[in-house]
Amino acid sequence: MDFETHDYDVLVIGAGGAGLRAAIEASAAGVQVGLICKSLLGKAHTVMAEGGVAAALANVDDRDSWKVHFADTMRGGQYVNNWRMAELHAKEAPDRVRELEAWGAVFDRTADGRILQRNFGGHRYPRLAHVGDRTGLELIRTLQDEGVHRGIDVHMEFTVVSLLATDGRASGVVGYERERGRFKVFGASAVILATGGAGRAYKITSNSWEGTGDGHSLAYHAGAELLDMEFIQFHPTGMIWPPSVQGILVTEGVRGEGGILLNRDGRRFMFDDIPDAYRKQTADNEDEGWRYTQGDKNARRPPELLTRDHVARCIMREVRDGRGSPHGGVFLDIAWIKKRLANGEEHIRRKLPSMYHQFKELADIDITKEPMEVGPTTHYIMGGVRVDGDTQMSSVQGLFAAGECAAGINGANRLGGNSLSDLLVFGKRAGEHAAAFAREHRRVSIDTAAARAAADRALKPFEAGPGGGENPYAIQSALQEMMQALVGIVRNEDDMQRALQGLTALRTRVERAVVTGHREYNPGWHTSIDLGHLLTVSEAITRSAIERKESRGGHFREDFPEKDPRFAMFNVVTAKASDGSMQVRRVPLPAMPAELKQIIEDQK
Amino acid sequence: MPTATFKVWRTDEKGGAFRDYSVAIVPGMVVLDAVHQIQATEAPDLAVRWNCKAGKCGSCSAEINGSPRLMCMTRLNSLPLDEPVTVEPMRAFPPIKDLVTDVSWNYRVKQSIKPFAAKKPDASDGTWRMRQADIDRVQEFRKCIECFLCQDVCHILRDHKMHDRFIGPRFLTYAAALEMNPIDAGDRLDDLKNHHGIGYCNITRCCTKVCPEHITITENAIIPLKERVVDRFYDPITRLLRVFRS
Ligand SMILES: Cc1cc2nc3c(=O)[nH]c(=O)nc-3n(C[C@H](O)[C@H](O)[C@H](O)COP(=O)(O)OP(=O)(O)OC[C@H]3O[C@@H](n4cnc5c(N)ncnc54)[C@H](O)[C@@H]3O)c2cc1C
Ligand code: SF4
Ligand code: SF4
Ligand code: FES
């Protein structure tokens, strides 16, 4: 097989917020940049982000600063975050947001004409710059429109199947273009992974078909380390009814605007369990909570705006104890604010237009009149490629990662809004450092034998003999059901050991997957390729979750339901051993400088 | 379980034809669910684009029972199920396979429009002040999810195939968003008239009717742009003033 080849100084895999921001920066540094994505440009997952981008602009509350944002992020992540990333993120996010405005983004405004910011869970002050509830669209469109005028080569509907490395140095990728089904090789001096998340490992998820953990898996197989893979964010409010919309996200912005959670009996159950770390900052009565959402600086936040891990577990508790809504969730009510606001209906429609639209069209529910039914949905993976906090380079030389597929900034739980800012801050850094790396290091040649082997592997499902194998869709849903049941929101050792056995069995089934039709634009074939990535990330999640014998953030174990201070001292790292098996190990957290410790103390 | 019949456009080397599939109906189902069900059971190679399944990404555009819609936002209970539901690709774009079309022309058109160029910051902190009331309209246009359904339905593109002379409603809206942005310093009126074919639009309003984001493309974007073009190029007083100024 001869490959069509392309060569770049910097090759970016992924055109979500992180990939686009990285490509813009690398191109601004004057190197040749190629950008690859699985879907059309502008359709990446980032387009779906709703609530906003977190940055301590202090436009709405001038008590905000990078220090408070830093402390909030560390507290939200339960202190196992990479403190250096949390620091850089808090310091640089405001500039990254203002820069978007200079590129044409049009954020909602304060009365004095500056960028408006809204409340979100775990953020002490109103911090999320937003555009109604379609912030991700604004962000991706701005970056896309800026990017296309900078001479970046975009290869759309192209799927990378393998990352090539020679002697611990990234050399390029091999993949196929969907339209014709042809394989191509891309050589590059530096490769940036910006492939997003892995929610598709679970049955109920807010993630699109693209979220199959490709970057995690590509990096792992190329020899890079993964970090914190046990930390998955189950967002508390996904749609649960009707079945066809299960998992679709209901933005936290609903609660930010005053929405409340109620159980079957109409009880506002979030007041029943407020964690000690947040007690001082949380309202103890309904009136105070309401005033907070309306901008009263002396009020404390309502318990609905506690961190996502906690809210998700409270919902699970209500459902488990028989106090759930008819379809196995709880009620989220924003319509009640009409009692407090004269123009409540219009206010809801203006602040939450796409939620209004989504419920009206998909569930026949008018959220200005009735409560929504919601339940947890797999939303975000805090774990990812282990990178250097300043440069975003992984343990493989010349391989960088940014955005959701990189790990560190979020620790055990991500605060809402901290992803979009993460994409901008670390996308930029990755672009800058990858360009510098490409300038300083010559390209290494591509191992064509490895490229050919990867292509052959990807084509195998076409070769099934008579009698054939299994439909890849069936295997995919078996995997998703298993991960949901055994490595979901509530975990224990026995279940997870069973999941490991289940993954071994699934691997055998994947070997026998068969696809019909030809190579051109064949989604069945694509699904068979995704399966390999899903198996890798699922195994990494499960093994890391077994290793962490405590509960922290997004990781909750019923056999170890408490936080354990000994586990606050390390991260779990996953890597491929020389025999090809997956190994996990504990890596001590680096010591935090005294001044950052002091900031955290001051903000307690 | 009740079922419905779907006639889905399938292509092969020879061309294309509708093929019948029987689909089991689940509460709340949308057309995209039906297509996914067909993929997962009978036709794993059925080509379709989608991403968000919530009307936010604009990937799943198709013609359902002949009208341009997003598959993920078309509920089965809004369609008559006693007769087959037809699902076919957008017809104004070259076919690739099954429900997937070649929309690359749109990306090229966008690149031909003068990009946003910010004015000097007007606040001492190096940023801009904008009143919400002044950006409401721009935000309406920026809701666009680039589904290209309006492009699909516009007769100038669909029937008259004037892709080389007319940028279509999506990009007139895009140009309007730039022109009406209070901090943009660019000027696109000359291009709109001479290269982007704004004059061809005869305000049939078909684009506005199909826009899933409910953007009032004609009244809010195209007509005001046309007025600006007329003011600049045809209004004798303005023209005279321009002669004096230059
Ligand atoms: C419904 C929803 C709402 C959200 N709301 C918010 C919010 O309000 N605020 C916030 O901060 N965060 C929010 N998030 C989270 C946030 O949107 C994501 O974490 C973030 O957008 C991820 O961006 P990214 O650039 O890392 O990757 P993505 O945007 O996921 O992009 C990944 C890119 O990689 C490409 N890719 C992947 N694999 C391959 C491959 N093998 N070959 C080639 N290309 C590949 C894809 O095609 C895509 O272009 C939300 C998420 C969801 C699902
Ligand atoms: S109003 Fe103009 S742009 Fe819209 S469909 Fe009619 S002719 Fe096309
Ligand atoms: S203007 Fe409306 S119909 Fe046209 S591309 Fe945008 S969202 Fe789609
Ligand atoms: S899948 Fe995104 S709009 Fe339909």
For residue B242, the model assigns a pLDDT of 65
Ligand 2 centre and the CA of B171: distance in Å?
11
Q: Are residues B97 and B108 in the same domain?
A: no
> Is position A255 annotated as part of the catalytic site?
yes
**Domain total in chain B:** 2
Centre of ligand 2 to C-alpha B217, Å, is 9
Residues B55 and B116 in one domain: no
Residue B240 has pLDDT above 80, yes or no: no
Same domain, B123 and B69: no
Q: Is the CB of A592 under 6 A from ligand 1?
A: no
Of B58, B80, B101, which one is at a domain's C-terminal end? Answer: B101
- Establish whether residue A380 lines the binding site of ligand 1, counting it when its CB lies within 6 angstroms of any ligand atom: yes
Neighbours of B38 (CB within 10 A): 20
- Ligand 4 probe mutation, B53, B99, B143, B149, most atoms within 8 A of CB: B53
What pLDDT is attached to residue B239? 65
Task: Give the one of A115, A134, A521 whose C-beta lies nearest to B143's C-beta.
Answer: A134
Query: Would you state the torsion angle of the CA atoms of residues A63, A69, A71, A74, taken in this order, to the nearest 10 degrees?
Result: 160
Q: Would the ipTM clear 0.90, i.e. be above it?
A: yes
Q: Does the structural domain A235-378 have CATH classification 1.10.274.10?
A: no
Same structural domain for residues B164 and B95?
A: no
The CATH number given to whatever domain includes residue B222 is 1.10.1060.10
Residue that finishes a domain, picked among B80, B101, B122: B101
Q: How far from chain centre, in Å, is Cα A477?
A: 21
Q: Which whole number is the average pLDDT over B90-102?
A: 97
Do B40 and B12 reside in the same domain of the chain?
yes
Chain-chain contact of A248 with B139 (C-beta, under 8 angstroms): no
Host H or E run for residue A475:
helix A472-486
- The candidate with the shortest Cα–Cα distance to B214, out of B168, B147, B167, B154, is B147
| B29 and B96 both lie in a single domain | yes
pLDDT attached to residue A4: 94
B20 lies in which domain range? Answer: 3-101
What is the pLDDT at residue B13? 84
pLDDT the model gives residue B236: 67
Find the CATH number of the domain harbouring B12. Answer: 3.10.20.30
Please identify, by atom number, the ligand 3 atom nearest to the C-alpha of residue B215. 2
- Rounded CA gap, A236 and A40, in Å? 30
Yes or no, beta carbons of A361 and B47 under 8 Å apart: no
pLDDT of residue A295: 87
DSSP characters for chain B?
Answer: --EEEEEEEEEETTEEEEEEEEEE--TT-BHHHHHHHHHHHT-TT-----S-SSSSS---EEEETTEEEEGGG-BGGGS-TTSPEEEE--TTS-EEETTEE--HHHHHHHHTSPPP-BPPP-STTS-----HHHHHHHHHHHT-----HHHHH-HHHHTT--TTT--HHHHHHHHHHHHT-TTB----HHHHHHTS-GGG-----HHHHH-TT---IIIIIIHHHHHHHHHHHT-HHHHHHHHHH-
Distance B85 CA to ligand 3 centre (A): 24
Calculate how close chain B gets to A388, using CA atoms only, in Å: 31
**What is the band of B241 on the pLDDT scale with cuts at 50, 70, 90?**
low
| Residue listed under structure tokens 């799927």 | A159
Would the CB atoms of B45 and A525 count as touching at under 8 Å? yes
- Any atom of ligand 2 within 6 Å of the Cβ of B156: yes
Render pLDDT for A152-189 as a digit per residue (tens, 0 to 9).
999 999 999 999 999 899 999 999 999 999 999 999 99
Kindly state the percentage of chain B with pLDDT values over 90. Answer: 89
| Angstrom distance (rounded) from CA A251 to CA B126 | 32
Band of pLDDT at residue B238, cut at 50, 70 and 90:
low
The pLDDT, as a whole number, for residue A111 is 96
Distance CA B129, CA A98 (A): 12
Closest chain A CA to residue B179:
A104
d(CA A175, CA A188): 14
Residue of chain A nearest B30, judged by CA positions:
A244
Contact criterion met (CB < 8 Å) for A114 and B127: yes
Closest Cα partner for A193 from A389, A436, A449, A10? Answer: A10
Q: Which residues line ligand 4 (CB under 6 A)?
A: B 50-53, 55-60, 70, 72
Mutate which of A419, A421, A529 to test ligand 1's pocket (most atoms within 8 Å of Cβ)? A419
Q: Residue A121: what pLDDT?
A: 87
In angstroms, the Cα distances linking B163 to B103, B112, B156 are 12, 13, 8
Q: What number is the average pLDDT over the span B178-187?
A: 96
How high is the pLDDT of residue B1?
77
Which of B76, B101, B126 lies at the terminal end of a domain, its last residue?
Answer: B101
Chosen for mutation from B33, B60, B131, B142 (greatest number of chain A CBs closer than 10 Å) is B142
Domain extents in chain A: 235-378, 464-570
Q: What is the pLDDT of residue A243?
A: 87
Is residue B176 scored above 90 in pLDDT?
A: yes
As a CATH number, domain A464-570 is 1.20.58.100
Q: B117 and B231, same structural domain? A: yes
For residue A439, the SS3 value is: helix
Residues of chain A with pLDDT under 50: none
- Chain A environment of B59 (Cβ under 8 Å): 39-40, 43
Q: B64 and B75: one domain?
A: yes
Chain A residue with minimum CA distance to B138: A106
B78 lies in the same domain as B141? no
Asked whether A550 and A560 are in contact (CB, 8 A), the reply is yes
User: Where would I find the beta strands (DSSP E) of A258-413?
Assistant: 260-262, 330-333, 372-381, 384-385, 399-401
pLDDT in the model for residue B162: 96
A137 touches chain B (CB under 8 A): yes
Q: Residue B245 above 70 pLDDT?
A: no
Residue B65 sits in the same domain as residue B149: no
| Same domain? B46 vs B133 | no
Mean pLDDT to the nearest integer, B160-176 = 97
B109 in the same domain as B216: yes
Q: What is the pTM of this model?
A: 0.95
